[in-house]
């Protein structure tokens, strides 16, 4: 879907780089990145993800770079704990908005888990969140540093949380897990990913990875009983915390 936004804004200077986090590499994500049948995706997905019909109808495979990060390095460097999240970086290489939900709202709480249907009120709320994010992005592309959505260095620093000791230890377990996975030691690899989840429970990137290392799971949608049990265990905590546009500059 971001191809539509890219085509709209690239002549104004926008560049997009998409990064998939998956230890299994190309077999897990390649078919989804450049899916030839993207125009045939059911409209229920548009409601689930909050995309307006006019944008959804123009979707096409991405032409911007799509990378596969088997080691979750980008997630660690930028503090990403879920997907999709976005980071805005200006022409000078300065972060002007740190990692936050890229227009995705907490729709999983309202979704029918068998049909993926979304109630009208929830769909309208999700569309509003998506539109707010896209409109802010458009403003930043047009106005650069003058945009109210381009945060000051002080505000960026306030919003970014440096890694805790637990985060560092979790990242080390992920590296060990990836190494063991590459050596064919699946159960030992899963142990280290599960330990990373224990140390860093807010990282859904780690949690998803821990659930999707078995050969029959690679490339499949992470929507099994273990995933939904983890979502339900959140209680009142959000699965997708909305981007915070309340603080200007």
Residue 17 clears pLDDT 80, i.e. is over it? yes
Structure tokens at 96: 């002007």
Q: What is the DSSP letter of 17?
A: -
pLDDT at residue 248 greater than cutoff 60: no
Question: pLDDT digits over 195-234, tens only?
Answer: 999 999 999 999 999 999 999 998 887 888 899 999 999 9
The pLDDT of residue 35 is 63
- Per the DSSP assignment, residues forming a β-bridge with 239 are none
How far apart are the C-alpha atoms of 132 and 135, rounded to whole Å? 5
> In the chain, pLDDT over 90 holds for what percent of residues?
62
Other Cβ atoms closer than 10 A to 230: 17
- Tokens coding 24: 């299994």
**Which residues lie across from 28 on neighbouring strands?**
none
What pLDDT, on a 0 to 100 scale, did the predictor assign at position 114? 83
- Continuous segment of H or E residues that includes residue 73: helix 73-78
Residue 245 clears pLDDT 90, i.e. is over it: no
pLDDT in tens, 103-126: 998 888 888 888 888 898 988 999
Task: State CA 206 to chain mean position distance.
Answer: 12
pLDDT tens for 121-180 read: 988 999 999 999 999 999 999 999 999 999 999 999 999 978 899 999 999 999 999 999
Q: Residue-wise over 36-45: b if at least 16 C-beta within 10 A, else e? A: eeeeeeeeee
71 against 36, higher pLDDT:
71
Nearest to 14, CA basis, from 22, 4, 24, 23: 4
Question: Which of 6-15, 51-60, 147-156, 192-201 is predicted with the least confidence, judged by mean pLDDT?
Answer: 51-60
pLDDT at 26 over 70: yes
pTM above 0.85, yes or no: yes
Q: Where residue 34 falls among pLDDT bands split at 50, 70, 90?
A: low
Whole-angstrom distance, CA of residue 15 vs CA of residue 23: 26
Average pLDDT value for the chain: 89
């Amino acid at each position: 879907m971001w191809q539509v936004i890219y085509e709209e804004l690239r002549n104004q200077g926008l560049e997009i780089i998409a990064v998939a986090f998956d230890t299994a590499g190309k077999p897990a994500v390649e078919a989804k990145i450049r899916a030839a049948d993207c125009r045939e995706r059911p409209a229920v997905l548009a409601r689930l993800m909050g995309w307006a019909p006019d944008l959804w109808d123009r979707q096409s495979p991405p032409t911007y770079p799509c990378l596969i990060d088997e080691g979750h390095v980008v997630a660690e460097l930028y503090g990403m704990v879920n997907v999709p999240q976005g980071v805005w970086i200006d022409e000078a290489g300065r972060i002007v908005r740190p990692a936050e939900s890229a227009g995705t709202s907490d729709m999983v709480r309202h979704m029918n888990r068998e049909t993926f249907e979304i109630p009208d009120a929830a769909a309208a709320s999700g569309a509003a969140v998506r539109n707010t994010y896209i409109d802010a992005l458009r403003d930043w592309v047009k106005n650069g540093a003058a945009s109210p959505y381009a945060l000051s260095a002080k505000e960026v620093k306030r919003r970014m949380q440096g890694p805790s000791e637990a985060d560092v230890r979790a990242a080390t377990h992920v590296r060990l897990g990836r190494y063991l996975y590459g050596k064919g030691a699946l159960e030992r690899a899963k142990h280290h990913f599960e330990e990373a989840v224990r140390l860093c429970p807010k990282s859904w990137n780690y949690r998803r990875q821990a659930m999707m290392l078995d050969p029959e799971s690679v490339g499949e949608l992470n929507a099994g009983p273990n995933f939904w049990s983890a979502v339900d265990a959140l209680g009142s905590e959000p699965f997708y915390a909305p981007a915070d546009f309340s603080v200007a500059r």
